[in-house]
Structure 1
Amino acid sequence: MVRTAVSRKTLREQVAEILRRKILNGEIKPGERIIEADVAKAFQTSRGPVREALRQIEEEGLVTYESHKGCIVKTMSYEDMQEAYLIRSTLESLAAKMCSGNLTPELEQQMEKNLEELGKAAEERDLYKVVELDEEFHSYVAKASQSERLYKVWKSLESGNTAAYYTMETESLVPFEVIKMNHQRILDAFRTTSVEQICGEIERHYMIVPETLFQQMQKKKEKSEM
């Protein structure tokens, strides 16, 4: 690992962010072991903040602890991804129903601003920023429900979305060219269509990634069998 000095102001958060970025960018791959002592040495800090950072990204679902192995970058299967996205899309559809398909002016403005930033990040192929903005956009959909309980349940599934981007080499499958448009369709649905159509748009949006991954897995399987 390259030696990296970090500020002690918010050390745990900074270490967690660096590790998260390395996982997302593929520098640390699914199934790879993260050694606490090596991370502490690389970041020129004690093991305490590193341990806390690892615990944080474990709660996010990016890593898991395995017996006799320690901290391992989690591999998300197609089935895991499909399940996580089905639950998230169901919750966001429920949010649309709870607000009767009506966004507050503030939320609509925030979503519009988010889409502009998402478009720029996609043009620059900044995957880390794309993931952050993708999560932010969908948080506005959940918040439209004006239900703190629904939002908390939705937020607890955040790791599934992040993991979907890095696991099984899906970065090559990220549709940078159309990712802004795919999200714009949801906002446009809130503006112009019925609640039923909004829910349908949300569901279609969430099924794109699992379906693309499944097709890619099938191609790899066919090649290996040739």
Structure 2
Amino acid sequence: MGQIIKPESLHLQAYSILKQSILDGERKPSERVVEAKVAGTLGISRGPVREAIRMLIQDGLLEYNDGFVKVYEPTVKDIIEIFQCRESLEILAIKQAIEHSNETLLEDLKKNIKETEQALDKGALLKQFDQQFHTIIINASKNNHLIQLLEMIKTKIHYMRNNMIDAPFYPTLLDEHEKIYQSIVGKNVEKATELVSIHIQRGLDGVLEHIN
């Protein structure tokens, strides 16, 4: 786990450290998070840790369960609903990204696809570039509320993939990204939304198939 740097806000540092430990799989689904123990590990008082825990509960990465704070453990129903929300929101994002499309967007996506191809046999890097591809499109929507909503969903999916799934990315991922990119180049909104829907549904199928 990370370390506290005194001059910076303690609760935000505790939040960042705890969040990263959850996303990296150091803390497993349903594992208890004890305020006093975290405070002792970080060498700070319990107040900032309590606030960090509150923020992580708001993010959905921690939850109260049986009177204890525990790491979020999504049910199959949760997973399906998260991907349903993601699909609807990313369809809106790509529509708006095409509306605001420019050379920078196309160059960023083209660069990402090239880097993804080079990382096909590197699991951690491949996850990074997959997330980056979607983030480029989402940010290009220029819709701040949409970006915030998808950031929360993206965090939960990242958590699930790191903690609940022991499988490589499906082999058609790169081809699907390429086709989505081409639909943006051609400003074909109907095709783009269809491809995004199929792409996210395939991602959900992969998660459900390989849940630990």
Q: Which moved more, 1:181-190 or 1:23-32?
A: 181-190
Q: Which segments of 5 or more consecutive residues in structure 1 lack a partner in the other structure?
A: 221-226
CA distance in 2, matches of 1:122, 1:11: 39
- Native 8 Å contact 1:103 1:144 kept in 2: yes
Q: How many residues align?
A: 211
Residue identity opposite 1:56 in structure 2: M
Instruction: Summarize the Cα distance change of 1:43–1:77 in structure 2 as closer, same or farther, 3 Å threshold.
Output: same
Mark the CA change 1:99 to 1:117 in structure 2 (over 3 Å): closer, same or farther.
Answer: closer
Give identity over the alignment, percent: 26
Deviations 1:26-59 (A, max 9, x none): 3211011011111111111222222222222222
For 1:189, the aligned partner's letter is: S
Give, in whole Å, the separation in 2 of the partners of 1:55 and 1:113.
38
> How far, CA to CA, are the matches of 1:49 and 1:147 in structure 2?
32
Corresponding residue of 2:196: 202
Q: TM-score, length-normalised on structure 1?
A: 0.74
Q: Equivalent residue for 2:124?
A: 126
Q: 1:211 aligns with which of 180, 190, 205?
A: 205
Further displaced range: 205-214 or 109-118: 109-118
2:100/2:141 contact within 8 Å kept: no
111-120 or 100-109: bigger deviation = 111-120
Q: Which moved more, 1:81-90 or 1:152-161?
A: 152-161
Secondary structure at the aligned position of 1:72 is classed as: strand
Q: Which secondary structure does the structure 1 equivalent of 2:210 belong to?
A: helix
Alignment check: 8 A CA contact 1:125 1:176 kept: no
Cα pair distance change 1:54/1:184, threshold 3 Å: farther
Deviation at 1:178, TM superposition (A): 6.4
1:190 alignment partner in structure 2: 184
CA contact (8 A) 1:36 1:50 kept: yes
Q: Please give the alpha-carbon distance, in whole angstroms, between the structure 1 residues aligned to 2:91 and 2:32.
A: 37
Matched, 1:145 2:141: yes
TM-score using structure 2 length:
0.78
- Tell me whether 1:68 sits opposite 2:67 in the alignment: yes
Q: In the alignment, which residue of structure 1 is the partner of 2:31?
A: 32
In structure 2, runs of 5+ residues without a counterpart are none
Shift of 1:80: 1.5
In 2, the alpha carbon distance for the partners of 1:141 and 1:97 equals 10
Tell me the equivalent position of 2:89: 91
Asked if 1 retains the 8 angstrom alpha-carbon contact of 2:98 and 2:184, the reply is: no
